[in-house]
Each structure stands twice: as C-alpha cells, then as structure tokens.
C-alpha cells in the first residue's frame, strides 16, 4: 500500500515538474510545415475518422442488441448455424474499408520516398554525439553540436536553472540551413552507432545507420526555424544531440552560404599561442567535446571512460596522446575529423596542464596541422593546384566561348557526366569516388571502371546488389556521359569514351 502511495505521489510530482519545464502537450499528430507533413496529417485524420466510424457502428450495434434483446424482455436466443448473406456482408464491408484506407496510404508512402528531381542534396552523418552536414556538390561541411548555454546548464552542479535557457537542449551552435521552395534530398548515414534524425515539422524521421545510406526529402515553402532531436538511443549523451533546421529565402540562403563557405575556407588559426592561452582556450574545447565522457574534472567513468587525471597517456609522450586524439580508439571518436588544428592543440595542452595534471609542455597548432591529412604542406600544394585549375578553367571557358564543345567529344561527355554523377552516383560513391567500403565500392582505381568499358556499361545497365539498373533511369546521352566521366575523372585516366549512339546500339 505504501509503495502504491509513493508511486502515485511520484507520478504527480513528475507531472508538475514537466509542466514547470514548459513541456508542450498535444492530443494530435503535429501538422508540420511541408506538403508531405500535411499529407501525412490528412492521412492520419482520415484513418482516425474511419476507425471512429467503425467503432461507433460496431459498439452501437452491439449495445443496442444487448439492451433490446435481453432475456427479461422475453427474447429467446436464436438457434442457427451459418448464414451466407451475413458472411458475405461481413467480408465485403471490411474489404471495402481496407481498400479505402490502403489507396491514400500507398499514395502518401510513394510520395514520401520520391527523392527524384531534387534541387540539392545534403549528406547527414550521425556521430556520438553531434551531427555532420555536408552539402554535396560543394566543399561546405560542418559539425553541429549542442549549444554552449544548454551544455553548461545540463552539467551536474551547474546551478543554472534550465528554464532560463532559451530552447534548452533544442539549440545548436551551427544549424542546418536550407533554401525555401527547393526540393532538398537528404542522405543519412552514421560514423559509429545507429542514430535517428527527426524534425517533427518536416513530417518524417530517418535512421542513420553505419555503412548504409537512407534517403528522404523535404521542401519548406516559408522561412522559419524548426527543431528536432535524435530519436534512437545512441549512447550516454543521446539526449544532447538536437537538430535545428533554418529555412531561408533564396537571397538570404545564398548570402549565408557564401559567408559560411568563406569562413570555412579560412581554415584554423595556425599562429603560435602562449602556454597560458593554449590552456585557457583548451578549457572551452574540453568542456564542449570531452567532458561528456571524461567528466568536467577529468575523473572519467570507471569501466567505461578512463580518467584523464594522472593518466599514463596524458602525462606521457605528447605525440602519443596527439595521435590518439586525432585518430581515436575504441569508443573514442577521431577528433582529427571533427576539430580544427588550433582546437586540437588547445585541448591537448589543456588536458596535460589541468584536471590535476601539470606536465608543463604544450603543442602548437602548426604541429597538429602537419599531422592532419590536410597538413600545411598539402594545403599549400592544394592552393597552388587550385590556382592552376582556376587558370585552366578560365582558359577553357574562353576557348568554349570561341568554339562550343561537341557534346559527343570526350570533353563534352566528361562535362555532362560530372552533372549526371553528382545527381545519381555521388550519394553512394562519394564526390571523389572513394566510396563507402564495404557497402559502396570506390570508383577511383576500380577494376571495373578502368577495365573493359563494355563490361562497365553492362553492369550499370542491369545493376547489381544495391546498385540500381541505370539503363532504366538514364537516357543514352546521360548514360554515355557518366560512363565516360568515371573513366576519365575521380583519379582515373583510361582516356576512352562511349557515345550515346553506341549506348543505343547496345540497348
């Protein structure tokens, strides 16, 4: 009895606490802001009212029969077996009801999965515990994490009332920005465990699975900010990886894209910092990226996340620690893919000179940058190559103005093939053709792509495994162009081609 009273009291207190946290309660499905979300809501209401109608009819008939044909009114139970008319009626009516429900449901499901004719594609990768967004066809990509205000308020003993934090646990440092009135195709995957990307106002959610690609689409017609969360239990901080989507009109989106891309192009600040500055700035990087597992004071969680205080790694060779931080190990992600060189230098120096440690050494951003794939030397070479490519492109543009390229020439096919590749192939085989092994093979250096061109055409026409039959979806011009492109780009230089006429002959 006492346990029952305690449970009841706990339920009441929980409800009061949730109300004080300003939780929004609704009795119906969120209608959303997109056409597909409205269609889903309309389908939901249609099915609901059909169920209500059936329920009222069935229970109304049952209660009427029980009340008006009861024994004390002199009714006698009928004695009969089988009635063909009744059996036909109770078979036909449910069949008609199910068909009336199946037709609009099928239409909505087909519409939900139709990612064709999209205006742009965004790749979404789930990490523990943040989201990575990559605008395919451009060089823009970034990580989106829980905002600093929410992150501070959620810490034990912070003394901050979460009710005073705007959009507590539903705000991020870098939101996903999309243009309005454009069909946006999303491709979902994960780098570690299963996540699930959900923004209620868009009307759907999709799992992000390691090694697999899921697709979805949306089109938001009015500017606004729409919030969501990961809905798959993905680990310790599952509840702290929100999603924020901001829809902007095209001019505003173009300005944001240009500004964000310019900021990303600047890269990390590689200037040397004083020891004190490295430690001071590293505290903020640690709090945002490391304290979740290793805890604010570096004591860790025994058996799950090792302590950094007096750690043999942290107090040992700085190069060994740097390698571990950059490349990850076990449940620890590769922060070299997430943080800039200056942030990495700051947090490494911080852990070695705080959290109870006092090694007294440091590492500068330049030293870290040299260890990253996009190291200082590589960056310099890339800048030089980019300038050369821009000069070559300008020269080709001038030549193109003087003499239009023959669409059946190798150059014309490669130019068209790049567009076809970005629209149909990049989601699986990636922009540079490196693929997603083992699910999606690399095209760079592929035996198929660099081998007999007719064998490649045969494979692409018929499809294989998860690869669709492109012979049914691409025109001969598109098919010839993308085949020629893959054999003469993406790190390949076979120097051959196939024309639309040859594709038609093979078909």
The residue ranges of every structural domain in the chain are 35-112, 120-266, 275-371, 401-506
Please state whether beta strands 130-135 and 120-127 pair in parallel, antiparallel, or not at all (unpaired): antiparallel
3-state helix, strand, coil in the chain (%, to 5): 50, 15, 35
Where does the pLDDT of residue 435 fall: very low under 50, low under 70, confident under 90, or very high at 90 and above? Answer: confident
What is the reported pLDDT for 18? 43
Please state whether beta strands 120-127 and 214-218 pair in parallel, antiparallel, or not at all (unpaired): unpaired
What is the reported pLDDT for 111? 92
CATH placement of domain 275-371: 1.10.760.10
Decide if 255 contacts 185 (C-beta within 8 A): no
Q: Which CATH number fits domain 401-506: 3.30.70.20, 1.10.760.10, 1.10.3720.10, 3.30.2350.10?
A: 1.10.760.10
| pLDDT for residue 378 is more than 50 | no
CA distance 307 to 295: 8
For the record, the structure tokens of 162 come out as 């979460």
- Of 373, 495, 480, 376, nearest in space to 434 by CA: 373
CA distance 74 to 399: 101
CA distance 499 to 407: 9
For the record, the structure tokens of 215 come out as 């697709």
C-alpha 475: how far from chain center: 30
**What integer best gives the mean pLDDT of the chain?**
85
DSSP label of 230: E
CA within 13 Å, CB half, 456: 21
Decide if 365 contacts 273 (C-beta within 8 A): yes
Mean pLDDT on 64-89? 84
User: Residue 503: exposed, middle, or buried by beta-carbon count in 10 A (0-12, 13-18, 19+)?
Assistant: buried
| DSSP H or E run through 28 | none
Q: Which residues contact 31 (CB under 8 A, 6 or more apart)?
A: 37, 38, 41
- Of 119, 251, 238, nearest in space to 186 by CA: 119
Mean pLDDT on 366-373? 86
What percent of the chain has a predicted confidence (pLDDT) above 90? 37
Mean pLDDT on 204-230? 94
| pLDDT for residue 385 is more than 90 | no
pTM (2 decimals)?
0.64
- Residue with the bigger pLDDT between 387 and 203: it is 203
Neighbours of 108 (CB within 10 A): 18
- Of 133, 172, 131, 176, nearest in space to 151 by CA: 172
CA distance 242 to 200: 12
Helical H segments across 237-375, by residue range? 250-266, 275-289, 291-294, 318-327, 341-352, 365-371
- Which tens digits make up the pLDDT trace of 397-419? 555 445 555 777 888 889 898 98
What is the reported pLDDT for 386? 56
| pLDDT for residue 125 is more than 70 | yes
DSSP label of 197: E
Domains 35-112 and 275-371 share a fold: no
What is the reported pLDDT for 390? 62
- Which tens digits make up the pLDDT trace of 136-185? 988 899 999 999 899 888 887 888 899 999 999 999 999 999 999 999 99
- Which tens digits make up the pLDDT trace of 223-277? 999 999 999 998 888 999 999 999 999 999 999 999 998 888 877 888 888 999 8
Q: Which CATH architecture has domain 120-266?
A: Sandwich (2.60)
For the record, the structure tokens of 207 come out as 């799992």
- Which tens digits make up the pLDDT trace of 40-61? 999 999 999 999 999 999 999 9
For the record, the structure tokens of 323 come out as 């390698």
| pLDDT for residue 469 is more than 70 | yes
Q: Which CATH number fits domain 35-112: 3.30.70.270, 3.30.1600.10, 1.10.150.80, 1.10.287.90?
A: 1.10.287.90
| pLDDT for residue 351 is more than 50 | yes
Tokens 């943040």 belong to which residue? 130
Q: Which residues contact 301 (CB under 8 A, 6 or more apart)?
A: 293, 295
Mean pLDDT on 14-31? 58
What is the reported pLDDT for 393? 56
């Amino acid at each position: 009895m006492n346990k029952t009273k305690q449970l009841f009291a706990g339920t009441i207190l929980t409800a009061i606490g949730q109300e004080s946290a300003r939780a929004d309660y609704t009795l119906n499905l969120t209608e959303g802001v997109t056409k597909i979300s409205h269609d889903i809501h309309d389908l939901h209401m249609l099915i609901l009212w059909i169920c209500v109608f059936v329920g009222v009819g069935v229970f109304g008939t049952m209660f009427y029969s029980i009340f008006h044909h009861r024994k004390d009114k002199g009714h006698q139970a009928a004695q009969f077996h089988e009635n063909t008319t009744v059996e036909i009626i109770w078979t036909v009516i449910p069949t008609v009801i199910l068909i009336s429900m199946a037709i609009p449901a099928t239409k909505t499901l087909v519409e939900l999965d139709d990612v064709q004719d999209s205006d742009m594609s965004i790749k979404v990768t789930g990490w523990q515990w943040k989201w990575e967004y990559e605008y395919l066809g451009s060089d823009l990509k970034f990580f989106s994490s829980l905002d600093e205000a929410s992150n501070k308020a959620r810490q034990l003993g912070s003394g901050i009332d979460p009710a005073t934090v705007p959009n507590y646990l539903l705000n991020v440092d870098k939101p996903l920005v999309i243009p309005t009135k454009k069909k946006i195709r999303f491709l979902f995957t994960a780098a570690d465990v299963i996540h699930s990307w959900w923004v209620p106002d868009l009307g759907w959610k999709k799992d992000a699975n390691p090694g697999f690609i899921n697709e979805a689409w949306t089109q938001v017609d009015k500017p606004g900010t729409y919030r969501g969360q990961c809905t798959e239990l993905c680990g310790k901080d599952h509840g702290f990886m929100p999603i924020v989507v901001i829809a902007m009109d095209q001019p505003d989106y173009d300005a944001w894209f240009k500004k964000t891309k310019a900021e990303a192009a600047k890269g990390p600040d590689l200037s040397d910092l004083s020891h004190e500055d490295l430690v001071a700035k590293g505290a903020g990087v640690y709090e945002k990226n490391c304290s979740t597992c290793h805890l604010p004071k570096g004591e860790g969680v025994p058996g799950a996340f090792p302590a950094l205080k007096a750690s043999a790694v942290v107090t040992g060779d700085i190069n060994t620690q740097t390698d571990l931080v950059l490349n990850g190990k076990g449940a620890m992600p590769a922060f070299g893919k997430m943080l800039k060189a200056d942030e990495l230098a700051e947090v490494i120096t911080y852990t070695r000179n705080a959290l109870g440690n006092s090694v007294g050494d440091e590492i500068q951003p330049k030293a870290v940058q040299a260890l990253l794939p996009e190291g200082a030397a590589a960056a310099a070479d890339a800048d030089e190559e980019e300038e050369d490519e821009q000069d070559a492109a300008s020269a080709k543009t001038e030549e193109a103005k003087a003499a239009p390229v023959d669409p059946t020439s190798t150059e014309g096919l490669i130019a068209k093939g790049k567009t076809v590749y970005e629209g149909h192939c990049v989601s699986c085989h990636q922009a540079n053709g490196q693929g997603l092994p083992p699910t999606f093979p690399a095209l760079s250096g592929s035996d198929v792509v660099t081998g007999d061109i007719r064998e490649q055409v045969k494979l692409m026409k018929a499809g294989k495994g998860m690869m669709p039959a492109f012979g049914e979806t691409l025109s001969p011009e598109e098919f010839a162009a993308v085949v020629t492109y893959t054999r003469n780009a993406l790190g390949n230089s076979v120097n051959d081609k196939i024309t639309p006429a040859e594709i038609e002959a093979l078909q």
